[in-house]
Amino acid sequence: MDPAGLLPGDVLADVLRRLMPRSLAACRSVCKEWCAAVDAHGLLRKDLLPLSLAGIFAVYNFVDGYHLPPAFLSRPSVAGKIQGNLSYLDDVHDEWSHIMGHCNGLLLLWGGVANPATRQWACLPRHPDRTATKGFIKRDFLAYDPMVSPHFEVFFMQCVRRRSKNEVALDLANPNSEWPPSPYTISAFSSETWLWEERSFIREGMAPRSIDPKLLPLMKNVLFPRDAVYWRGRLYVYNIFFVIRLDLGDNKYRVIELPPISEARGDIMPHLGKSGNGVYYGFVGDCCKLQIWFLNESIDHTEWMLKHEIGLKPLLENFPWEHSHGSWFVQGLRDNNDETLDREKLEWDSDNDDATTASATEVSVQKKFHKYISRILGFHPYKEIIFLHISDTRVVAYHLKNSKVEDLGCLPVDGDDWIQSSCVYTPCWIESCLRANNVEPNSEL
């Protein structure tokens, strides 16, 4: 038995309040008793930590040679606090509006890192070598946990390249090839040293199997996102057929094969994300079939468990397209607060379990046109809710437990536009190690 559990609540709280905020936040996650003591005595300002959902960032594609600015779909109460269109970075660099990744309140941008909540930013030094080998592309991934450390890390990794719509890294079908190797050497940047350094990771578990060539034609319709998850000291990076899990504490890595994707028509947009229980993976096939998998992990075993499988055709056919505008609105590409925002409507706040929801089978038909699920925008970070973009128009919150849906608002895509990536944003109000400086940002990052 934990000796601290024998202490009266007041005594335990008196001991814990002597800790620094970051250590106190870490202690809060040790057990229910410690968490209750911290919360009951108001020892930690949870509102400063990335523990609440603020909105969803959407990154658009290149148009006429440049990136469209990101869109930020958020609750009205958040709009005055967080400048989601990142316009305060316009004077830093033209390409800084392009979001490359995110982690616990920080955004990895094309040239640096920024915190939209505190409006802090910092340029990163240029990486010495950005040359990718044949069949691969190098990408950056962010790891940051303000409850553990004020510092962040950026990992510059090789990822399998999708060469064209009909050709998917055929070199992986070679049974004699082995990737990633062991040791797997990665370039890593630390905000503590402000330097790029080489880090080597030793493989644990089985070596990755060669890819069955029969799967390659099936994968030609899979669109490969820039997804990564940082969860409890481990970085999970999506790589077409598998996930690479980097254990940042003991410098080991494991290859985790992804669940099989059954044959389906049309493009398939998978998404790797996290929720309150850990790492999730989902994809949409045939425009309306949704599958959600949960990664069940133990000390020496990992297994994907099918969490949810449903055809959402009834939702698409019966969605109230004309008479519902949602309670969230967009900052950035197309501000819709003047046209669609109903300020008298109760805004949906996922932290409130009493938020109004509507069953997917109980809404009435309002408009007839081709409806489909464009993509998975992300997972709710603390609840079993998934955010879906429907017919390049609307965003809904879909509850995995009861199949209910809430209309959040419009995130329109017009003409040649399309959403390249997205991230569910949880703001961090703690002043971090980001430091504004006059160093010219690296336009190639």
What is the pLDDT at residue 228?
A: 93
C-beta separation of 411 from 330 below 8 A: yes
What is the pLDDT at residue 154?
A: 95
C-alpha angle 308-223-332 in degrees, rounded to nearest 5:
90
C-beta separation of 394 from 407 below 8 A: yes
What is the pLDDT at residue 294?
A: 95
Amino acid, single-letter form, for residue 175: P
C-beta separation of 276 from 207 below 8 A: no
Could you read off the pLDDT tens digit of each residue along the chain, which spans 445 residues? 455 556 777 788 888 877 766 677 777 767 778 878 877 777 766 667 788 899 999 888 766 666 677 889 998 888 778 888 787 787 766 666 678 899 999 999 887 899 998 888 888 888 777 676 666 778 899 999 988 888 999 999 887 765 554 444 445 545 556 778 889 999 999 999 999 999 999 999 877 665 555 555 555 545 556 789 999 999 999 987 789 999 999 999 999 988 876 655 556 678 999 988 899 999 887 778 889 999 999 877 889 999 999 888 887 777 766 555 667 888 765 444 444 444 445 566 665 543 434 333 333 333 444 678 888 999 999 899 999 998 878 899 999 988 888 889 888 777 667 788 899 999 998 876 776 443 443 433 3
358 token code pair: 């509507």
| Residue 210: DSSP 8-state | P
The torsion of the CA quartet 407, 412, 418, 424, rounded to 10 degrees, works out to -40
- DSSP H helices in 177-312: 216-219
List of domains in the chain: 3-44 (1.20.1280), 55-265+420-425 (no CATH)
The torsion of the CA quartet 146, 147, 152, 158, rounded to 10 degrees, works out to -120
C-alpha angle 101-98-222 in degrees, rounded to nearest 5:
60
> What's the N-to-C CA distance of the chain in angstroms?
49
Exposed/middle/buried for residue 306 (C-beta within 10 Å: 0-12, 13-18, 19+): exposed
Beta bridge partners of 306: 293
What is the pLDDT at residue 305?
A: 94
What is the pLDDT at residue 168?
A: 46
279 token code pair: 């790492």
C-beta separation of 220 from 270 below 8 A: no
What is the pLDDT at residue 18?
A: 77
CA distances from 69 to 21, 41, 97, 139, 412 (A): 35, 43, 6, 20, 14
Amino acid, single-letter form, for residue 193: T
Within 13 A of 8's CA, how many CA atoms are on the CB side?
2
Within 13 A of 215's CA, how many CA atoms are on the CB side?
14
What is the pLDDT at residue 281?
A: 93
